[in-house]
């Protein structure tokens, strides 16, 4: 069950749960589909798999070279290395599956002039689009008041999702995301 929060516009402030955003500081209000980074999660798992297996196989090879004096202690270390490798692979697999099976969310984002952003969701995207219009109207008409219940966005780790706009850049060298004056 999703928890709901109040979104209130009153006296030139937008309240989202306990956070207040002055209407004159709102830089952008928009909706988008918050999607998990599934491809990156699979690539990260494969990278971890290759590194883990390479390290384990490297230790196995080195132990094989040293094993000419065959001691029980070396076998114990080799068993430990492979247990750590298996546990690391299982952890990486679980980490990947959490992202792969995460669902996408339609969200409303309110960005301020600073670094803060409020994200909320609703059962249907049409409600979010209507809220964007209502907030934009309130920015232009500060005497507007509004109160609505929205759903709190429940995601595991924000780093597993794509946020913001997608920019395609063609040509050039050393692009750092800044525009020259």
Here the tokens at position 93 are 């697999």
Closest CA to 78 of 107, 102, 48, 57: 57
Q: Count up the domains in the chain and report the number.
A: 2
Closest CA to 109 of 4, 176, 21: 21
Summarised one tens digit per residue, pLDDT across range 15-32 is 888 888 888 888 888 888
Tell me the C-alpha distance between 155 and 133, whole Å.
25
Backbone angles phi, psi at 136, to 5 degrees: -60, -40
Is residue 145 a part of any domain in this protein? yes
Is residue 131 a part of any domain in this protein? yes
Instruction: Say whether both 140 and 95 belong to one domain.
Output: no
CA dist 172 → 14, 56, 168, 179 (Å)? 41, 42, 12, 13
Instruction: Say whether both 23 and 65 belong to one domain.
Output: no
The band of 100, judged by pLDDT with boundaries at 50, 70 and 90, is very high
Summarised one tens digit per residue, pLDDT across range 122-168 is 888 898 899 999 888 888 887 888 888 888 777 767 667 666 555 55
Pairing of strands 19-22, 26-34: unpaired
Instruction: Say whether both 128 and 91 belong to one domain.
Output: no
Helix (H) / strand (E) element for 85: namely: helix 72-100
Domain housing 19: 4-36+103-160
Q: Are 109 and 119 in contact (CB under 8 A)?
A: yes
Q: Whole-prediction pTM value? A: 0.68
**Coarse DSSP helix, strand, coil percentages of the chain, rounded to the nearest 5 percent:** 45, 25, 30
Q: Are 118 and 47 in contact (CB under 8 A)?
A: no
The β-bridge partners of 28 are: 111
Domain boundary among 81, 100, 119: 100
Backbone angles phi, psi at 63, to 5 degrees: -65, -35
How far separated are the first and last CA of the chain, in Å rounded?
49
Q: 125, exposed or middle or buried, with CB in 10 Å at 0-12, 13-18, 19+?
A: middle
Here the tokens at position 105 are 């969310």
% the chain with pLDDT above 70: 81
Is residue 166 a part of any domain in this protein? no
């Amino acid at each position: 069950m999703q928890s709901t929060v109040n979104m209130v516009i009153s006296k030139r402030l937008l309240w989202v749960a306990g956070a207040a955003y002055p209407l004159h500081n709102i830089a952008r209000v928009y909706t988008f589909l918050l999607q998990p980074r599934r491809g990156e999660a699979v690539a990260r798992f494969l990278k971890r798999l290759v590194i883990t297996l390479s390290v384990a196989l490297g230790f196995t090879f080195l132990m094989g070279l040293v094993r000419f004096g065959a001691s029980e202690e070396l076998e114990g270390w080799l068993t430990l290395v492979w247990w750590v490798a298996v546990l690391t692979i299982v952890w990486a697999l679980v980490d990947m599956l959490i992202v792969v099976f995460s669902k996408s969310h339609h969200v409303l984002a309110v960005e301020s002039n600073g670094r803060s952003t409020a994200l909320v969701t609703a059962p249907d995207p049409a409600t979010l689009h209507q809220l964007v219009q209502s907030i934009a109207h309130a920015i232009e008409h500060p005497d507007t008041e509004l109160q609505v219940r929205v759903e709190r966005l429940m995601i595991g780790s924000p780093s597993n999702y794509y946020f913001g706009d997608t920019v395609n850049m063609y040509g050039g060298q050393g692009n750092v995301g800044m525009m020259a004056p």
